[in-house]
Amino acid sequence: MRLPNFLTPRTVVSAHCDLPCGVYDPAQARIEAESIKAIQEKYQANQDPVYRTRALIIKEQRSELVKHHLWVLWTDYFKPPHFEKYPQLHQLFNEATKLAGGAGTKESVDPADGDKLLAKIDEIAKIFWETKQA
- Chunked into runs of 10 residues, the chain (134 residues) has average pLDDT values of 64 55 86 98 98 97 96 94 97 97 90 97 97 84
CA torsion sign for 105, 38, 113, 82 is: positive
Q: What is the CATH number of domain 24-133?
A: 1.20.120.400
Q: Would you give the distance in Å from CA 106 to the centre of its chain?
A: 15
CA torsion sign for 118, 21, 74, 65 is: positive
For residue 97, the model assigns a pLDDT of 97
For residue 115, the model assigns a pLDDT of 98
Residues 9 and 88: their CA atoms lie apart, in Å, by: 37
Domain boundaries, the chain: 24-133
